[in-house]
Chain A
Amino acid sequence: MSLLNTPQGNQPRWRSWLLTDTPTSRNHARVASLYQGWLSFRGNSMAMFGLIILVLLVLIAIFAPLLAPHDPFVQDLANRLKPLATDGHILGTDSLGRDILSRLIYGARITLYIVILVALIAPVAGLFVGTVAGYVGGWVDTILMRITDIFLAFPRLVLALAFVAALGAGIENAVIAISLTAWPPYARIARAETLTIRNSDYISAVKLQGAGPFRIITRHIWPLCISSLIVRVTLDMAGIILAAAGLGFLGLGAQPPSPEWGAMISEGRKFILDYWWVATLPGLAIFLVSLAFNLLGDGLRDVLDPKDDGS
Protein backbone atom coordinates (compact mmCIF):
# COMPACT_ATOMS: atom_id res chain seq x y z
CA MET A 1 0.00 0.00 0.00
CA SER A 2 1.46 3.37 -0.93
CA LEU A 3 1.90 6.11 1.62
CA LEU A 4 -0.70 8.29 -0.07
CA ASN A 5 -3.38 5.66 0.18
CA THR A 6 -2.94 4.88 3.86
CA PRO A 7 -4.89 7.78 5.40
CA GLN A 8 -7.73 7.36 2.92
CA GLY A 9 -7.79 3.63 3.52
CA ASN A 10 -7.81 4.11 7.28
CA GLN A 11 -10.71 6.50 7.49
CA PRO A 12 -13.40 4.13 6.22
CA ARG A 13 -12.00 1.35 8.37
CA TRP A 14 -12.55 3.06 11.71
CA ARG A 15 -15.81 4.46 10.46
CA SER A 16 -17.11 1.05 9.51
CA TRP A 17 -15.79 -0.26 12.83
CA LEU A 18 -17.92 2.34 14.58
CA LEU A 19 -20.96 1.94 12.35
CA THR A 20 -21.06 -1.82 12.43
CA ASP A 21 -24.23 -3.74 13.15
CA THR A 22 -22.23 -6.58 14.67
CA PRO A 23 -20.07 -5.24 17.48
CA THR A 24 -17.47 -7.65 18.77
CA SER A 25 -17.15 -6.61 22.40
CA ARG A 26 -18.96 -4.80 25.17
CA ASN A 27 -16.94 -1.60 24.75
CA HIS A 28 -17.16 -1.76 20.99
CA ALA A 29 -20.97 -1.85 21.24
CA ARG A 30 -21.00 1.08 23.63
CA VAL A 31 -18.63 3.21 21.55
CA ALA A 32 -20.52 2.38 18.36
CA SER A 33 -23.86 3.40 19.81
CA LEU A 34 -22.33 6.62 21.16
CA TYR A 35 -20.85 7.36 17.76
CA GLN A 36 -24.18 6.78 16.04
CA GLY A 37 -25.84 9.14 18.51
CA TRP A 38 -23.14 11.71 17.78
CA LEU A 39 -23.75 11.38 14.03
CA SER A 40 -27.44 12.12 14.41
CA PHE A 41 -26.65 14.97 16.80
CA ARG A 42 -24.16 16.44 14.35
CA GLY A 43 -26.85 16.61 11.69
CA ASN A 44 -28.68 19.21 13.79
CA SER A 45 -26.84 22.44 13.00
CA MET A 46 -28.61 24.57 15.64
CA ALA A 47 -27.72 22.07 18.36
CA MET A 48 -24.12 22.03 17.13
CA PHE A 49 -24.10 25.83 17.36
CA GLY A 50 -25.24 25.55 20.99
CA LEU A 51 -22.65 22.89 21.73
CA ILE A 52 -19.83 24.97 20.22
CA ILE A 53 -20.77 27.98 22.36
CA LEU A 54 -20.82 25.83 25.48
CA VAL A 55 -17.49 24.20 24.66
CA LEU A 56 -16.05 27.68 24.17
CA LEU A 57 -17.54 28.73 27.52
CA VAL A 58 -15.88 25.80 29.25
CA LEU A 59 -12.54 26.57 27.58
CA ILE A 60 -12.84 30.24 28.54
CA ALA A 61 -13.57 29.30 32.14
CA ILE A 62 -10.61 26.91 32.29
CA PHE A 63 -8.13 29.30 30.70
CA ALA A 64 -9.51 32.48 32.25
CA PRO A 65 -6.15 33.61 33.73
CA LEU A 66 -4.50 33.27 30.32
CA LEU A 67 -7.28 34.90 28.34
CA ALA A 68 -8.20 37.83 30.55
CA PRO A 69 -6.20 40.95 29.63
CA HIS A 70 -6.55 42.45 33.12
CA ASP A 71 -7.12 41.41 36.70
CA PRO A 72 -10.93 41.43 37.15
CA PHE A 73 -10.65 42.89 40.65
CA VAL A 74 -8.14 45.69 40.12
CA GLN A 75 -9.80 49.07 40.23
CA ASP A 76 -8.62 52.07 38.28
CA LEU A 77 -10.81 55.01 39.19
CA ALA A 78 -9.10 57.29 36.67
CA ASN A 79 -10.36 55.01 33.90
CA ARG A 80 -13.95 54.41 35.03
CA LEU A 81 -16.88 53.91 32.62
CA LYS A 82 -14.76 53.90 29.50
CA PRO A 83 -16.78 53.08 26.34
CA LEU A 84 -16.26 50.09 24.06
CA ALA A 85 -13.03 49.80 22.09
CA THR A 86 -11.05 51.97 24.45
CA ASP A 87 -7.32 51.37 24.21
CA GLY A 88 -6.53 48.35 26.43
CA HIS A 89 -10.20 47.79 27.34
CA ILE A 90 -12.00 46.32 24.32
CA LEU A 91 -15.34 46.09 26.11
CA GLY A 92 -14.82 49.21 28.22
CA THR A 93 -14.67 49.52 32.00
CA ASP A 94 -17.24 49.60 34.75
CA SER A 95 -17.97 52.14 37.47
CA LEU A 96 -14.80 51.24 39.36
CA GLY A 97 -12.60 51.16 36.29
CA ARG A 98 -12.42 47.34 36.14
CA ASP A 99 -12.03 45.76 32.70
CA ILE A 100 -15.45 44.37 31.66
CA LEU A 101 -14.00 41.74 29.29
CA SER A 102 -11.85 40.28 32.08
CA ARG A 103 -14.79 40.27 34.45
CA LEU A 104 -16.97 38.48 31.88
CA ILE A 105 -14.25 35.89 31.35
CA TYR A 106 -13.90 35.20 35.05
CA GLY A 107 -17.69 35.33 35.40
CA ALA A 108 -17.91 32.31 33.09
CA ARG A 109 -16.35 30.29 35.91
CA ILE A 110 -19.04 31.33 38.36
CA THR A 111 -21.81 30.69 35.85
CA LEU A 112 -20.47 27.21 35.10
CA TYR A 113 -20.02 26.52 38.80
CA ILE A 114 -23.67 27.35 39.49
CA VAL A 115 -24.94 25.48 36.47
CA ILE A 116 -22.95 22.32 37.20
CA LEU A 117 -23.87 22.22 40.88
CA VAL A 118 -27.56 22.71 40.21
CA ALA A 119 -27.43 20.19 37.38
CA LEU A 120 -25.91 17.66 39.76
CA ILE A 121 -28.30 18.20 42.64
CA ALA A 122 -31.78 18.94 41.28
CA PRO A 123 -32.24 16.22 38.63
CA VAL A 124 -30.70 13.53 40.82
CA ALA A 125 -33.03 14.39 43.69
CA GLY A 126 -35.99 14.58 41.32
CA LEU A 127 -35.08 11.30 39.63
CA PHE A 128 -34.81 9.54 42.95
CA VAL A 129 -38.09 10.87 44.34
CA GLY A 130 -39.98 10.37 41.08
CA THR A 131 -38.88 6.83 40.32
CA VAL A 132 -39.40 5.63 43.87
CA ALA A 133 -42.87 7.21 43.97
CA GLY A 134 -43.79 5.79 40.58
CA TYR A 135 -42.43 2.31 41.15
CA VAL A 136 -43.50 1.71 44.74
CA GLY A 137 -46.89 3.40 44.39
CA GLY A 138 -49.49 3.40 47.16
CA TRP A 139 -49.03 5.72 50.12
CA VAL A 140 -45.33 6.30 49.35
CA ASP A 141 -46.38 7.75 46.01
CA THR A 142 -49.07 9.91 47.63
CA ILE A 143 -46.73 11.38 50.24
CA LEU A 144 -43.84 12.06 47.86
CA MET A 145 -46.07 13.60 45.24
CA ARG A 146 -47.91 15.86 47.70
CA ILE A 147 -44.53 17.16 48.89
CA THR A 148 -43.65 17.78 45.26
CA ASP A 149 -46.93 19.64 44.80
CA ILE A 150 -46.16 21.88 47.77
CA PHE A 151 -42.82 22.88 46.25
CA LEU A 152 -44.42 23.38 42.85
CA ALA A 153 -47.11 25.63 44.30
CA PHE A 154 -44.63 28.44 44.95
CA PRO A 155 -43.20 30.63 42.19
CA ARG A 156 -39.62 29.54 41.77
CA LEU A 157 -37.81 32.83 42.32
CA VAL A 158 -39.95 33.71 45.33
CA LEU A 159 -39.18 30.36 46.96
CA ALA A 160 -35.47 30.72 46.14
CA LEU A 161 -35.53 34.21 47.65
CA ALA A 162 -37.07 32.84 50.82
CA PHE A 163 -34.43 30.12 51.07
CA VAL A 164 -31.54 32.50 50.45
CA ALA A 165 -32.95 34.95 52.95
CA ALA A 166 -33.09 32.14 55.50
CA LEU A 167 -29.70 30.61 54.63
CA GLY A 168 -27.83 33.87 54.09
CA ALA A 169 -26.60 35.48 50.88
CA GLY A 170 -23.80 33.84 48.94
CA ILE A 171 -23.22 31.76 45.88
CA GLU A 172 -23.37 28.31 47.55
CA ASN A 173 -26.63 29.17 49.24
CA ALA A 174 -27.98 30.47 45.95
CA VAL A 175 -27.13 27.12 44.36
CA ILE A 176 -28.85 25.22 47.17
CA ALA A 177 -31.90 27.46 46.96
CA ILE A 178 -32.18 27.07 43.20
CA SER A 179 -31.75 23.30 43.46
CA LEU A 180 -34.43 23.07 46.13
CA THR A 181 -36.84 24.88 43.88
CA ALA A 182 -35.81 23.06 40.70
CA TRP A 183 -36.25 19.38 41.59
CA PRO A 184 -40.07 19.00 41.58
CA PRO A 185 -40.55 19.10 37.79
CA TYR A 186 -37.89 16.39 37.43
CA ALA A 187 -39.69 14.26 40.00
CA ARG A 188 -42.91 14.65 38.02
CA ILE A 189 -41.25 13.66 34.74
CA ALA A 190 -39.46 10.71 36.32
CA ARG A 191 -42.67 9.48 37.95
CA ALA A 192 -44.63 9.74 34.72
CA GLU A 193 -41.93 7.81 32.86
CA THR A 194 -41.76 5.21 35.61
CA LEU A 195 -45.51 4.63 35.48
CA THR A 196 -45.32 3.81 31.77
CA ILE A 197 -42.28 1.56 32.27
CA ARG A 198 -43.15 -0.32 35.46
CA ASN A 199 -45.79 -2.57 33.92
CA SER A 200 -43.90 -3.29 30.73
CA ASP A 201 -42.88 -6.81 29.84
CA TYR A 202 -39.15 -6.19 30.19
CA ILE A 203 -39.63 -5.17 33.81
CA SER A 204 -41.79 -8.27 34.38
CA ALA A 205 -39.07 -10.31 32.72
CA VAL A 206 -36.37 -9.09 35.07
CA LYS A 207 -38.70 -9.64 38.03
CA LEU A 208 -38.91 -13.24 36.86
CA GLN A 209 -35.14 -13.44 37.31
CA GLY A 210 -35.64 -12.57 40.96
CA ALA A 211 -34.43 -8.98 40.78
CA GLY A 212 -35.42 -6.76 43.70
CA PRO A 213 -36.96 -3.28 43.51
CA PHE A 214 -33.63 -1.51 44.11
CA ARG A 215 -31.99 -3.19 41.12
CA ILE A 216 -35.04 -2.66 38.94
CA ILE A 217 -35.20 1.06 39.74
CA THR A 218 -31.50 1.79 39.39
CA ARG A 219 -30.56 -0.53 36.54
CA HIS A 220 -33.71 -0.72 34.48
CA ILE A 221 -35.83 2.35 35.12
CA TRP A 222 -33.18 5.02 35.59
CA PRO A 223 -31.49 4.51 32.22
CA LEU A 224 -34.82 5.10 30.51
CA CYS A 225 -35.68 8.20 32.55
CA ILE A 226 -32.27 9.81 32.32
CA SER A 227 -32.48 10.76 28.67
CA SER A 228 -35.67 12.77 29.10
CA LEU A 229 -34.21 14.33 32.25
CA ILE A 230 -31.02 15.37 30.45
CA VAL A 231 -33.11 17.08 27.83
CA ARG A 232 -35.19 18.79 30.46
CA VAL A 233 -32.07 19.90 32.38
CA THR A 234 -30.48 21.52 29.34
CA LEU A 235 -33.75 23.30 28.60
CA ASP A 236 -33.93 24.43 32.23
CA MET A 237 -30.32 25.61 32.30
CA ALA A 238 -31.35 28.92 30.81
CA GLY A 239 -33.84 29.34 33.64
CA ILE A 240 -31.23 28.35 36.22
CA ILE A 241 -28.70 30.84 34.88
CA LEU A 242 -31.39 33.52 34.89
CA ALA A 243 -32.47 32.61 38.42
CA ALA A 244 -28.85 32.80 39.60
CA ALA A 245 -28.45 36.11 37.79
CA GLY A 246 -31.72 37.30 39.30
CA LEU A 247 -30.51 36.44 42.79
CA GLY A 248 -27.23 38.16 42.02
CA PHE A 249 -29.11 41.17 40.70
CA LEU A 250 -31.11 41.37 43.92
CA GLY A 251 -27.90 41.18 45.91
CA LEU A 252 -28.69 37.72 47.33
CA GLY A 253 -26.39 35.63 45.14
CA ALA A 254 -22.73 36.27 44.45
CA GLN A 255 -21.40 39.13 46.54
CA PRO A 256 -19.27 42.00 45.22
CA PRO A 257 -16.58 42.16 44.01
CA SER A 258 -17.27 38.72 42.50
CA PRO A 259 -17.73 39.08 38.72
CA GLU A 260 -20.98 37.14 38.56
CA TRP A 261 -22.92 38.22 35.49
CA GLY A 262 -26.19 38.98 37.29
CA ALA A 263 -24.39 41.03 39.89
CA MET A 264 -22.60 42.91 37.10
CA ILE A 265 -25.94 43.85 35.54
CA SER A 266 -27.11 44.99 38.94
CA GLU A 267 -24.10 47.27 39.30
CA GLY A 268 -24.47 48.62 35.79
CA ARG A 269 -28.14 49.42 36.28
CA LYS A 270 -27.33 52.76 37.92
CA PHE A 271 -25.66 54.03 34.77
CA ILE A 272 -27.73 52.25 32.19
CA LEU A 273 -28.93 55.38 30.37
CA ASP A 274 -25.55 57.06 30.02
CA TYR A 275 -23.22 54.04 29.99
CA TRP A 276 -25.38 51.28 28.47
CA TRP A 277 -22.58 48.76 27.86
CA VAL A 278 -21.84 48.24 31.55
CA ALA A 279 -25.16 46.41 32.07
CA THR A 280 -25.74 45.23 28.50
CA LEU A 281 -22.58 43.16 27.99
CA PRO A 282 -23.13 40.76 30.90
CA GLY A 283 -26.77 40.61 29.81
CA LEU A 284 -25.66 39.54 26.34
CA ALA A 285 -23.40 36.90 27.87
CA ILE A 286 -26.32 35.47 29.88
CA PHE A 287 -28.50 35.56 26.79
CA LEU A 288 -25.92 33.76 24.66
CA VAL A 289 -25.27 30.98 27.16
CA SER A 290 -28.99 30.48 27.86
CA LEU A 291 -29.66 30.27 24.14
CA ALA A 292 -26.83 27.77 23.71
CA PHE A 293 -28.26 25.51 26.40
CA ASN A 294 -31.72 25.69 24.84
CA LEU A 295 -30.43 24.76 21.41
CA LEU A 296 -28.38 21.93 22.86
CA GLY A 297 -31.43 20.64 24.71
CA ASP A 298 -33.48 20.62 21.52
CA GLY A 299 -30.80 18.63 19.73
CA LEU A 300 -30.37 16.19 22.60
CA ARG A 301 -34.10 15.55 22.64
CA ASP A 302 -33.89 14.30 19.06
CA VAL A 303 -30.91 12.06 19.81
CA LEU A 304 -31.84 10.69 23.22
CA ASP A 305 -35.57 10.11 22.97
CA PRO A 306 -35.86 6.37 23.67
CA LYS A 307 -39.16 6.19 21.83
CA ASP A 308 -37.35 6.94 18.59
CA ASP A 309 -34.60 4.38 18.58
CA GLY A 310 -36.80 1.32 18.14
CA SER A 311 -37.63 0.15 14.66
Chain B
Amino acid sequence: MSGIILEKLNVWFDTPETRVDAVKNVSLRVEQGESVGLVGESGSGKSTILRALTGLVPTWSGAMEVAGEKLGRQRSRHFYKKVQMVFQDPYASLHPRHSVDQVLSETLRLHGFNEIDRRISNLLTDVGLGPSFRFRYPHQLSGGQRQRVAIARALAPEPEILLLDEPTSALDVSVQAEILNLLVDLRQEHHLTYLMVSHDLAVVGHMCQQIAVMQLGEIVEIMPVAEMRELKPKHSYSRHLLESSLGYKRADD
Protein backbone atom coordinates (compact mmCIF):
# COMPACT_ATOMS: atom_id res chain seq x y z
CA MET B 1 0.00 0.00 0.00
CA SER B 2 1.29 3.40 -0.83
CA GLY B 3 1.18 6.48 1.32
CA ILE B 4 1.05 9.35 -1.12
CA ILE B 5 0.70 9.27 -4.89
CA LEU B 6 0.88 12.44 -6.95
CA GLU B 7 0.15 12.17 -10.69
CA LYS B 8 0.83 15.09 -13.01
CA LEU B 9 0.06 17.58 -10.27
CA ASN B 10 -0.18 21.21 -11.34
CA VAL B 11 -0.75 24.00 -8.84
CA TRP B 12 -1.18 27.61 -9.75
CA PHE B 13 -2.04 30.90 -8.10
CA ASP B 14 -4.36 33.31 -9.83
CA THR B 15 -3.64 36.97 -9.40
CA PRO B 16 -5.71 39.62 -11.14
CA GLU B 17 -3.00 40.22 -13.73
CA THR B 18 -1.34 36.86 -14.26
CA ARG B 19 -1.35 33.22 -13.31
CA VAL B 20 1.67 31.87 -11.49
CA ASP B 21 2.39 28.19 -12.05
CA ALA B 22 3.98 27.10 -8.80
CA VAL B 23 4.04 23.35 -9.41
CA LYS B 24 4.27 21.86 -12.89
CA ASN B 25 3.52 18.27 -13.84
CA VAL B 26 4.84 16.70 -10.67
CA SER B 27 4.54 12.95 -10.17
CA LEU B 28 5.76 11.42 -6.94
CA ARG B 29 5.20 8.24 -4.92
CA VAL B 30 5.77 7.93 -1.21
CA GLU B 31 5.41 4.37 0.05
CA GLN B 32 3.84 3.73 3.41
CA GLY B 33 6.38 3.96 6.19
CA GLU B 34 8.86 5.68 3.92
CA SER B 35 10.40 9.07 4.43
CA VAL B 36 10.86 11.25 1.37
CA GLY B 37 12.52 14.64 1.21
CA LEU B 38 11.65 17.41 -1.20
CA VAL B 39 14.59 19.74 -1.71
CA GLY B 40 15.14 22.79 -3.83
CA GLU B 41 15.70 26.49 -3.46
CA SER B 42 12.99 28.78 -2.12
CA GLY B 43 10.21 29.36 -4.60
CA SER B 44 10.65 26.00 -6.27
CA GLY B 45 7.18 24.86 -5.20
CA LYS B 46 8.07 22.42 -2.42
CA SER B 47 5.76 23.85 0.23
CA THR B 48 3.03 24.41 -2.34
CA ILE B 49 2.83 20.66 -2.91
CA LEU B 50 2.19 20.15 0.81
CA ARG B 51 -0.39 22.90 0.90
CA ALA B 52 -2.20 21.43 -2.11
CA LEU B 53 -2.17 18.01 -0.47
CA THR B 54 -3.74 19.36 2.71
CA GLY B 55 -6.38 21.30 0.80
CA LEU B 56 -5.06 24.74 1.71
CA VAL B 57 -4.55 25.60 -1.99
CA PRO B 58 -7.70 24.85 -3.98
CA THR B 59 -6.32 25.65 -7.44
CA TRP B 60 -4.75 22.42 -8.69
CA SER B 61 -5.20 19.81 -11.38
CA GLY B 62 -3.97 16.27 -11.79
CA ALA B 63 -4.50 13.41 -9.36
CA MET B 64 -3.62 13.03 -5.70
CA GLU B 65 -4.12 9.91 -3.63
CA VAL B 66 -3.38 9.62 0.06
CA ALA B 67 -3.52 6.30 1.93
CA GLY B 68 -5.77 4.82 -0.73
CA GLU B 69 -8.16 7.79 -0.77
CA LYS B 70 -8.49 9.84 -3.95
CA LEU B 71 -8.54 13.54 -3.14
CA GLY B 72 -11.10 15.96 -4.54
CA ARG B 73 -11.63 19.64 -3.85
CA GLN B 74 -12.88 19.11 -0.31
CA ARG B 75 -11.05 17.23 2.43
CA SER B 76 -13.03 15.13 4.82
CA ARG B 77 -12.42 15.10 8.58
CA HIS B 78 -11.41 11.50 8.06
CA PHE B 79 -8.59 12.75 5.81
CA TYR B 80 -7.25 15.05 8.52
CA LYS B 81 -7.16 12.14 10.89
CA LYS B 82 -4.72 10.41 8.58
CA VAL B 83 -2.66 13.34 7.35
CA GLN B 84 -1.23 16.09 9.48
CA MET B 85 1.26 18.84 8.85
CA VAL B 86 3.96 20.60 10.85
CA PHE B 87 4.50 24.16 9.74
CA GLN B 88 7.74 25.93 9.10
CA ASP B 89 7.57 28.77 11.60
CA PRO B 90 6.59 27.82 15.15
CA TYR B 91 6.23 31.51 15.95
CA ALA B 92 3.40 31.77 13.43
CA SER B 93 1.74 28.39 13.73
CA LEU B 94 0.47 28.67 17.33
CA HIS B 95 -2.46 30.89 18.21
CA PRO B 96 -1.02 33.66 20.42
CA ARG B 97 -3.97 33.56 22.82
CA HIS B 98 -4.36 29.81 23.22
CA SER B 99 -2.44 27.87 25.83
CA VAL B 100 -0.84 24.54 24.97
CA ASP B 101 -3.73 22.86 26.75
CA GLN B 102 -6.31 24.70 24.64
CA VAL B 103 -4.49 23.90 21.40
CA LEU B 104 -4.28 20.19 22.12
CA SER B 105 -7.68 19.73 23.71
CA GLU B 106 -9.41 21.51 20.82
CA THR B 107 -7.58 19.31 18.33
CA LEU B 108 -8.50 16.16 20.24
CA ARG B 109 -12.11 17.24 20.60
CA LEU B 110 -12.42 18.04 16.89
CA HIS B 111 -11.30 14.52 16.12
CA GLY B 112 -13.75 13.05 18.59
CA PHE B 113 -11.36 11.56 21.13
CA ASN B 114 -12.21 10.72 24.73
CA GLU B 115 -9.92 10.80 27.75
CA ILE B 116 -8.54 14.14 26.68
CA ASP B 117 -6.55 14.77 29.86
CA ARG B 118 -4.64 11.53 29.60
CA ARG B 119 -4.00 11.99 25.89
CA ILE B 120 -2.65 15.51 26.37
CA SER B 121 -0.14 14.39 28.95
CA ASN B 122 0.89 11.47 26.73
CA LEU B 123 1.36 13.78 23.77
CA LEU B 124 3.45 16.18 25.80
CA THR B 125 5.64 13.36 27.04
CA ASP B 126 5.95 12.02 23.49
CA VAL B 127 7.39 15.27 22.21
CA GLY B 128 9.69 15.69 25.19
CA LEU B 129 7.76 18.39 27.04
CA GLY B 130 6.81 17.72 30.62
CA PRO B 131 3.34 18.25 32.07
CA SER B 132 4.55 21.59 33.42
CA PHE B 133 4.25 23.02 29.91
CA ARG B 134 0.61 22.15 29.60
CA PHE B 135 -0.91 25.44 30.67
CA ARG B 136 1.64 27.80 29.20
CA TYR B 137 0.95 30.30 26.47
CA PRO B 138 3.13 30.46 23.34
CA HIS B 139 4.87 33.63 24.51
CA GLN B 140 6.12 31.67 27.52
CA LEU B 141 7.83 29.10 25.27
CA SER B 142 11.06 29.10 23.28
CA GLY B 143 11.15 28.41 19.55
CA GLY B 144 12.10 24.77 20.01
CA GLN B 145 9.40 24.25 22.63
CA ARG B 146 6.84 25.84 20.35
CA GLN B 147 7.81 23.50 17.53
CA ARG B 148 7.42 20.58 19.91
CA VAL B 149 3.91 21.77 20.71
CA ALA B 150 3.19 22.04 16.98
CA ILE B 151 4.45 18.48 16.52
CA ALA B 152 2.26 17.32 19.41
CA ARG B 153 -0.71 18.97 17.75
CA ALA B 154 0.08 17.18 14.48
CA LEU B 155 0.40 13.86 16.32
CA ALA B 156 -2.82 14.33 18.29
CA PRO B 157 -5.18 12.75 15.71
CA GLU B 158 -2.79 9.75 15.50
CA PRO B 159 -2.06 10.28 11.79
CA GLU B 160 -0.31 7.84 9.46
CA ILE B 161 1.30 10.52 7.37
CA LEU B 162 3.11 13.62 8.56
CA LEU B 163 3.88 16.45 6.17
CA LEU B 164 6.85 18.46 7.41
CA ASP B 165 7.29 21.92 5.97
CA GLU B 166 10.87 22.84 6.83
CA PRO B 167 10.23 22.07 10.49
CA THR B 168 13.63 23.28 11.67
CA SER B 169 14.50 26.19 9.42
CA ALA B 170 13.17 28.82 11.84
CA LEU B 171 15.10 27.38 14.78
CA ASP B 172 18.66 27.95 15.82
CA VAL B 173 21.23 25.28 15.08
CA SER B 174 21.46 23.66 18.51
CA VAL B 175 17.69 23.20 18.66
CA GLN B 176 17.44 21.94 15.08
CA ALA B 177 19.24 18.71 15.92
CA GLU B 178 16.94 18.06 18.90
CA ILE B 179 13.82 18.49 16.81
CA LEU B 180 15.18 16.32 13.98
CA ASN B 181 16.09 13.54 16.39
CA LEU B 182 12.66 13.81 17.95
CA LEU B 183 11.08 13.44 14.51
CA VAL B 184 13.23 10.40 13.73
CA ASP B 185 12.25 8.78 17.04
CA LEU B 186 8.56 9.55 16.59
CA ARG B 187 8.61 8.04 13.13
CA GLN B 188 9.94 4.78 14.48
CA GLU B 189 7.59 4.76 17.44
CA HIS B 190 4.41 5.55 15.54
CA HIS B 191 5.31 3.99 12.14
CA LEU B 192 4.77 7.27 10.37
CA THR B 193 5.21 8.18 6.74
CA TYR B 194 7.06 11.46 6.23
CA LEU B 195 7.02 13.83 3.31
CA MET B 196 9.51 16.49 4.29
CA VAL B 197 10.29 19.76 2.62
CA SER B 198 13.69 21.29 3.17
CA HIS B 199 16.33 23.32 1.48
CA ASP B 200 18.97 21.73 3.63
CA LEU B 201 20.45 18.57 2.09
CA ALA B 202 22.08 17.58 5.37
CA VAL B 203 18.71 17.58 7.12
CA VAL B 204 17.10 15.51 4.38
CA GLY B 205 20.07 13.15 4.34
CA HIS B 206 19.59 12.58 8.06
CA MET B 207 15.85 12.04 7.90
CA CYS B 208 14.93 10.50 4.58
CA GLN B 209 15.50 7.52 2.32
CA GLN B 210 14.48 9.16 -0.93
CA ILE B 211 15.15 12.64 -2.20
CA ALA B 212 13.19 14.49 -4.84
CA VAL B 213 14.96 17.55 -6.18
CA MET B 214 12.77 20.39 -7.35
CA GLN B 215 13.60 23.31 -9.56
CA LEU B 216 11.17 25.97 -10.79
CA GLY B 217 8.12 23.89 -9.94
CA GLU B 218 9.30 20.64 -11.49
CA ILE B 219 10.86 17.55 -10.01
CA VAL B 220 14.16 17.17 -11.86
CA GLU B 221 15.42 14.05 -10.15
CA ILE B 222 14.35 11.43 -7.61
CA MET B 223 17.13 9.40 -6.03
CA PRO B 224 17.87 7.37 -2.92
CA VAL B 225 19.80 9.18 -0.22
CA ALA B 226 22.65 6.68 -0.58
CA GLU B 227 23.16 7.86 -4.14
CA MET B 228 23.42 11.43 -3.00
CA ARG B 229 25.88 10.42 -0.30
CA GLU B 230 28.05 8.88 -2.98
CA LEU B 231 27.91 12.21 -4.76
CA LYS B 232 26.51 10.91 -7.98
CA PRO B 233 23.36 12.79 -8.80
CA LYS B 234 22.64 12.74 -12.52
CA HIS B 235 20.89 16.04 -13.10
CA SER B 236 23.05 19.14 -13.28
CA TYR B 237 20.84 21.05 -10.87
CA SER B 238 21.03 18.31 -8.22
CA ARG B 239 24.78 18.32 -8.59
CA HIS B 240 24.83 22.09 -8.22
CA LEU B 241 22.68 21.85 -5.09
CA LEU B 242 24.90 19.18 -3.60
CA GLU B 243 28.06 21.08 -4.37
CA SER B 244 26.79 24.28 -2.86
CA SER B 245 25.77 22.42 0.29
CA LEU B 246 29.22 20.89 0.59
CA GLY B 247 30.81 24.31 0.20
CA TYR B 248 34.39 24.99 -0.76
CA LYS B 249 35.57 21.46 0.01
CA ARG B 250 34.23 20.07 -3.22
CA ALA B 251 35.16 22.98 -5.44
CA ASP B 252 38.00 21.03 -7.03
CA ASP B 253 35.85 17.96 -7.65
Interface of A toward B, CB cutoff 8 Å? 21-26, 28-29, 33, 200-202, 204-211, 219-220, 223-224, 306, 309-311
Q: State the Cβ distance, A200 to closest chain B Cβ, in Å.
A: 6
Residue of B nearest to A204 (CB): B56
Contacts of A209 in B (CB 8 A): 80, 106-107, 110-111, 153, 157
Distance A114 CA – B84 CA, assembled complex (angstroms): 49
Q: How far is the CA of A210 from the CA of B80 in the complex (A)?
A: 6
Number of residues in B with C-beta < 8 Å to the partner?
38
Nearest Cβ on chain A to B22's Cβ, whole angstroms: 16
Asked whether B54 lies within 8 Å of A208 as measured between CB atoms, the reply is yes
Which of B6-14, B90-98, B200-208, B226-234 is the interface stretch?
B90-98
Complex CA gap A33/B150 in Å reads 22
> Is B160's beta carbon under 8 Å from chain A?
no
Interface string of B50-62 (1 = CB under 8 A from A): 0100111000000
Q: Which of A22, A200, A210, A220 has most chain B Cβ within 10 Å? A: A210
Q: A23-B136, A28-B135, A29-B137 are in contact. Are A207 and B96 (CB under 8 A)?
A: no
Residues in A with CB closer than 8 Å to B213 are none
Q: Which residues of B contact A206 (CB under 8 A)?
A: 95, 106-107
Query: How many angstroms from the CA of A29 to the CA of B132 in the assembled complex?
Result: 11
**Bound complex: CA of A28 vs CA of B137, how far in Å?**
12
* Nearest B residue to A33, CB-CB: B137
Interface of B is mostly: loop
Q: 29 pairs across A/B with beta carbons < 8 Å?
A: A21-B140, A22-B133, A22-B136, A29-B101, A200-B92, A202-B92, A202-B93, A202-B95, A202-B96, A204-B51, A204-B56, A204-B93, A205-B87, A205-B150, A206-B106, A206-B107, A207-B55, A207-B56, A208-B54, A208-B56, A208-B80, A208-B84, A209-B111, A210-B76, A210-B80, A306-B97, A309-B139, A310-B138, A311-B139
Q: Which residues of B contact A29 (CB under 8 A)?
A: 99, 101, 135-137
Task: Give the residues in chain A near B135, CB-CB below 8 Å.
Answer: 22-26, 28-29
Q: Which single residue of chain A is at the shortest CB-CB distance from B110?
A: A209
B89 within 8 A of A: yes
Complex formed: what's the CA distance from A310 to B137 in Å?
10
Query: What is the chain B residue whose CB lies nearest that of A210?
Result: B77
Specify which of B94, B96, B107, B150 lies most central, judged by the most chain A CB atoms within 10 Å of its CB: B96
Instruction: Determine if B111 and A210 form an interchain contact, defined as CB atoms under 8 angstroms apart.
Output: yes
By a CB distance below 8 angstroms, the chain A residues around B164 are none
Report Cα–Cα, A207/B83, bound state, in Å: 12
Q: How far is the CB of B178 from chain A (nearest CB, A)?
A: 19
- Write the nearest CB–CB distance from B59 to chain A, whole angstroms: 15
A156 to B106 Cα, complex, angstroms: 42
Chain A's nearest CB lies how many Å from the CB of B123? 14
A-B residue pair count with CB separations less than 8 angstroms: 84
B49 at the A interface (CB under 8 A): no
Give, as a whole number of angstroms, the nearest-CB distance from B243 to chain A: 33
In Å, the complex CA distance between A107 and B17 comes to 59
| Contact yes or no, A224 B106, CB < 8 A | no
Chain B min CB distance to A195 (Å): 16
A201, B139: Cβ atoms closer than 8 Å: no
Give chain A residues whose Cβ lies under 8 Å from the Cβ of B179: none
4 smallest beta-carbon distances between A and B, as pairs: A29-B135, A210-B77, A201-B93, A23-B135
Nearest CB in chain B to that of A307: its residue: B96
B101 engages A309 (CB within 8 Å): no
Contacts of A211 in B (CB 8 A): 106, 110
Docked pose: A311 CA to B142 CA in angstroms? 9
Q: Is B85 an interface residue (CB 8 A)?
A: yes
Which residue in chain B gives the minimum CB-CB distance to A200?
B92
- Asked if B153 and A205 make an inter-chain contact with CB atoms under 8 angstroms apart, the answer reads yes
Tell whether, in the assembled complex, residue B110 and residue A210 are in contact, meaning their CB atoms are under 8 Å apart.
yes
Which residues of chain A are within 8 angstroms of B96 by Cβ–Cβ distance? Answer: 202, 224, 306, 309-310
